[in-house]
Structure 1
Amino acid sequence: MVSTTIEERPAGIFAPRHRALTIGMVALITLAAFEYMAVATAMPVVAGELDGHALYGLAFSGALAAGVVATVLGGRWGDLGGPVAPLWTGVTVFAAGLILAGAAPTMDLFVAGRFVQGFGAGMLQVAMYVLVSRVYPAELHPRVFSVFATAWVVPSMVGPVITGVVVENVGWRWVFYGVAVILLPAALLLWRGLASAPMSEQPPAPARSPILRRLGWALLVAAGAALMQYGGAARGAGFALLVVGLVVLGAALPRLLPPGTLRAARGLPSVISLRGIVSGAVIGGEAFLPLMLNEERGLSLTMAGLVLTGGALSWSFGSWVVGRRRFERVPLLRLGSLLITLGLVLMALTVFAVVPIAAAFLGEIVLGLGMGLVYPTLSVLVLELSPPGEEGENSASLGVAESVYTVVSVAVAGALLAALGTLGAVYLLCFALVAALAATGIVVAGRVKA
């Protein structure tokens, strides 16, 4: 008698054992993405009503700074005690920030609410990475992260429109109250999902530097990023703030990332470095594309903003593709980085009047496709390359690199525009810089394997 064994395939991410958890996490990511998109749309009205134009930038940089600190704290907490406690802390703090911002009678309290939101969102995101590593089999990680990436698409497309309707007809406060209300059923799904999805045992976390020391470095990184953000947007003393912020980041950032990340050492450091590179290049290019199309090519801001929609759709498609089957990682990451570079080049060419504006639409689609191939793949790799008990800290490094590289990219481009003026040649220089950054990703992609 010959016995045969059939390899059991892991249940899908929407199978009964995972369905509630998957939907709950996707709902939370969608709400966080919607809040991120909505704030930018509602802020002019908020600042006008609360007489807070002087604190306008702090409403954004404060949330960013809090997110960096929370990511570092949440990552280590997840490694030491598992993802559940930091996950619920993130949900609770995020909800509290929404309510505080919505009820704020002054701009000071609104900024405080934004700070609390950023802290909750940062902890929530890194806890989800640890949760994925504990609940889903490794074979399902690509599908999980492809769905996470897709969860940003709908808010990117409809968030500003919905926000505009709410602000005009109900009031800006309901932008925050509404998200807080919808957060309740999402949290309920998450609670049910955690109860039905078995979690693997927590391995012992290795000894690391004291958490208070890491938090100190995180605060310095957040401060440096905020200084660069202000410096990139300010005139006069802006350049000095930019330089000081860069110096602070140069001293503090290496303390929060795996050794060799800034020089793209082979293995995990290159994975984290590549996440920062592509994020900085993409957001650095998209930050000024609508403004350039409006000022240089005469498009309305609404039409110029619609250009970004094509990128959101192709990003979703690229994420879906990498979630359907396994690809060789290095060629895939090189292809994605190349597509991002080409997309930025096409956007840059639309500075010239002889180039059809359609090139910007095409460039955004190409760029989005490249990001869809790269982004979830790097999320999968950071878990694959993390020893047991280090998933949280390495996922935190991924988030920190993404935030900091993006701030540096946008700040440098903003400083050039502030110093030299919004001229065609200056826009071309800004796009050349972010395209060159994206091109380095093609090289770094070859170093993700040790």
Structure 2
Amino acid sequence: MGQVLFQSKQKTTKRPFVLVTVMLAMFMAAIEATIVATAMPAIVAELGDFSLYSWVFSSYLLMNAVTVLIYGKLSDLFGRKPILTIGIILFLIGSILCGLATSMEWLIFARFVQGFGAGAVMPIATTIVGDIYTKEERASIQGYLSSVWGISAIMGPAIGGLLVEFVSWRFVFWINVPLGILAIIGLYLFLHENIEKKKPQIDYIGAILLTIAVTAFMFVLVEGGVRWTWLSFPILFLIGISIISIIAFVIYERKIDEPMMPFELWSERSILIANLTSLTTGVILIGLSSFLPTFVQGVMEQKAIIAGLTLTTMSIGWPIASMISGKAILTIGFRTTSLIGGLSLVVGTTIFIFLSSENSPIMAAAGSFLIGIGMGLTLTAFIVSIQSTVSWNKRGVATATNMFMRNVGSTIGAALLGGILNSKIMQYFSDHGVKDNLNLDSTTTLLDQSKRSDLSEEARNLLQNGLEFALHHVFIFIFGFAIISFLLILFLPKSKRADT
């Protein structure tokens, strides 16, 4: 196993500058989440194919999920700097391709590339902080890292809304290029690692099996009940492939010496609960990010910048709670901090169940803020807890495993909730005898103000009511995952020893 030593930190690795560089890399990924969600209604209005809406998120999240563990393992073998650099470069290539897209299919492919690089950014950036700071310092530094979400939350939707209205949605992707270049320069100027060379054992088979399992399951969630009936041969075949692949993955990972997911980590109860809860909160996160702007623009008839601001409050609450969480875990403990966060998730998602076209966007913003508080309290506690539990040569993959579970949750969530959205819209149209000239793709007209004004009052009401009906069911599912998250947190150990 390779080992990275940060010798003479004051003379070689300049911790304050490394922290700034890491925050810049994280900002690049964080602003991507808020700025793309804000721009998506405009993107789908121009490119069409509303049925592929969720794939824009699912494709990115899929590659992010299946590569995050590989990057975490590679960073333990080769060091953080070269692997993070490769990830940033791939992310930038994907961003450029996204901005050049002329169809939804092209955009989805480009998001695959972008997600392939994004898998390195968050886990390795967070792991670098775990390497160069002590346990007590990490609790405070995690708060600084989470402030990146607040900054991106304020700038992302605002910039995204302005670019969509006055320039082009393509620039929401191209804005990543200068940020990524600056992050790479900072890494090579300020982060210095002495790496003990060992012959690496990379788990390619595990990565392939996991990719097949997640991809097949994602197809089931997106297309089940829409393109294929739930008991059709394609759906049953994909379910079988997914189950066989995940079983083969678990068996194989338990047999090899250097697995991409060391299952012995899961024997620690706090890590097990943290990972399972990250899975369910990942569903909540993608559900809010993907569909709240659509509700605000399509149902409430608000502008893109207003839709972005309702999402902004989540990322404002997140860093505020993270800074509180960093201090709280040292006083009231991981479990109590996480429980407060879990309760905030439940209250926040409850608000969305009662959201309607007559409500003010302020109500949506309030629910979004509470979810941000819940995310900040729980996820910060989980990361600090995990990094304090494992040794250096497991820290990269342990951190990556937690983020992998959150990414898998987001991947499954985007597919599941996207499938629910499409099927419920079709159900509403069927129940109300919609005319042949209105279909699933007709919903995109609600997301473009000029096209919406051209609709007849009857058609507009029908489309808006159908979209509201479908999104209401999406929000109910999100609430259900918040309840599951809170119940899981109850199983965290009441006291836990965290080694420095």
Query: Equivalent residue for 1:386?
Result: 390
CA distance in 2, matches of 1:432, 1:109: 33
Query: Equivalent residue for 1:235?
Result: 226
Which among 434, 437, 447 is matched to residue 484 of structure 2?
437
Query: Equivalent residue for 1:315?
Result: 318
Cα shift readout 1:167-211 (whole Å, capped 9, x = no counterpart): 44443443333321232223222322214xxx5876989x98x51
Query: Equivalent residue for 1:144?
Result: 141
Aligned-residue offset at 1:238: 6.4
Query: Equivalent residue for 1:219?
Result: 211
Aligned-residue offset at 1:86: 0.7
Q: Quick one: structure 1 residues 181 and 412, their matched pair in 2 at CA, closer, same or farther if it must change by over 3 Å?
A: closer
Cα shift readout 1:254-281 (whole Å, capped 9, x = no counterpart): 736554999x972322221122122323
Cα shift readout 1:186-239 (whole Å, capped 9, x = no counterpart): 3222322214xxx5876989x98x51122112312441353155237x724264
Query: Equivalent residue for 2:412?
Result: 408
Query: Equivalent residue for 2:377?
Result: 373
Cα shift readout 1:395-438 (whole Å, capped 9, x = no counterpart): 22212211222333444444444245443974674354233223
Aligned-residue offset at 1:104: 5.1
Which among 278, 281, 291 is matched to residue 278 of structure 1?
281
CA distance in 2, matches of 1:427, 1:172: 26
- Whether the aligned pair in 2 keeps the contact of 1:203 and 1:388 (CA below 8 Å) is no
Q: Does 1:17 align with 2:18?
A: no
| SS of residue paired to 2:269 | coil
Cα shift readout 1:118-171 (whole Å, capped 9, x = no counterpart): 111112223223322322222222233222222122333332331243344443
Moved more, 26-35 or 428-437: 428-437
CA distance in 2, matches of 1:250, 1:362: 39
- Whether the aligned pair in 1 keeps the contact of 2:87 and 2:121 (CA below 8 Å) is yes
Q: Which structure's relative contact order is higher, taking Cα pairs within 8 Å and 6+ residues apart?
A: 2
Q: Quick one: structure 1 residues 426 and 133, their matched pair in 2 at CA, closer, same or farther if it must change by over 3 Å?
A: closer
Query: Equivalent residue for 2:269?
Result: 266
Aligned-residue offset at 1:291: 5.3
2:480 maps to a residue whose letter is: L
- Whether the aligned pair in 2 keeps the contact of 1:98 and 1:180 (CA below 8 Å) is yes
- Whether the aligned pair in 1 keeps the contact of 2:24 and 2:179 (CA below 8 Å) is no
2:126 maps to a residue whose letter is: Y
**How do 1:196-207 residues align onto structure 2 when only pairs under 5 Å count?**
none
Q: Does 1:182 align with 2:173?
A: no
**How do 1:49-448 residues align onto structure 2 when only pairs under 5 Å count?**
57-103=54-100, 109-195=106-192, 211-224=203-216, 226-228=218-220, 230-231=222-223, 235-237=226-228, 239=230, 250-252=243-245, 255=250, 259=263, 266-284=269-287, 287-289=290-292, 298=300, 300=302, 303=306, 305-324=308-327, 326-327=330-331, 328-350=333-355, 360-417=364-421, 418-419=423-424, 421=428, 422-423=468-469, 426=473, 429-446=476-493
CA distance in 2, matches of 1:257, 1:447: 26
Query: Equivalent residue for 1:33?
Result: 30
1:175 maps to a residue whose letter is: V
CA distance in 2, matches of 1:246, 1:140: 45
Cα shift readout 1:15-72 (whole Å, capped 9, x = no counterpart): x931211111111111122233333444555567667778655443322222123212
Aligned-residue offset at 1:369: 1.5
Q: Quick one: structure 1 residues 153 and 244, their matched pair in 2 at CA, closer, same or farther if it must change by over 3 Å?
A: farther
Aligned-residue offset at 1:113: 3.0
| SS of residue paired to 2:490 | helix
CA distance in 2, matches of 1:174, 1:415: 29
CA distance in 2, matches of 1:242, 1:431: 24
CA distance in 2, matches of 1:89, 1:428: 37
Q: Which runs of 5+ in 1 are unaligned?
A: 1-10
TM-score (norm 2): 0.72
Q: Quick one: structure 1 residues 271 and 49, their matched pair in 2 at CA, closer, same or farther if it must change by over 3 Å?
A: closer
Q: Quick one: structure 1 residues 282 and 118, their matched pair in 2 at CA, closer, same or farther if it must change by over 3 Å?
A: closer
Aligned-residue offset at 1:77: 0.7
CA distance in 2, matches of 1:164, 1:363: 21
2:374 maps to a residue whose letter is: G
| SS of residue paired to 1:445 | coil
Query: Equivalent residue for 1:5?
Result: none
| SS of residue paired to 1:336 | helix
CA distance in 1, matches of 2:68, 2:206: 11
Aligned residues: 429
Moved more, 137-146 or 335-344: 137-146
CA distance in 1, matches of 2:278, 2:131: 22
- Whether the aligned pair in 2 keeps the contact of 1:336 and 1:370 (CA below 8 Å) is yes
Moved more, 280-289 or 320-329: 280-289
RMSD: 4.0
CA distance in 1, matches of 2:273, 2:175: 40
CA distance in 2, matches of 1:244, 1:364: 38
| SS of residue paired to 2:29 | helix
- Whether the aligned pair in 2 keeps the contact of 1:311 and 1:365 (CA below 8 Å) is yes
Identity of aligned residues (%): 22
CA distance in 2, matches of 1:270, 1:165: 41
- Whether the aligned pair in 1 keeps the contact of 2:149 and 2:318 (CA below 8 Å) is no
CA distance in 2, matches of 1:92, 1:402: 23
Q: Quick one: structure 1 residues 279 and 43, their matched pair in 2 at CA, closer, same or farther if it must change by over 3 Å?
A: closer
- Whether the aligned pair in 1 keeps the contact of 2:265 and 2:398 (CA below 8 Å) is no
CA distance in 2, matches of 1:344, 1:202: 48
| SS of residue paired to 1:365 | helix
| SS of residue paired to 1:165 | helix
Q: Quick one: structure 1 residues 126 and 247, their matched pair in 2 at CA, closer, same or farther if it must change by over 3 Å?
A: farther
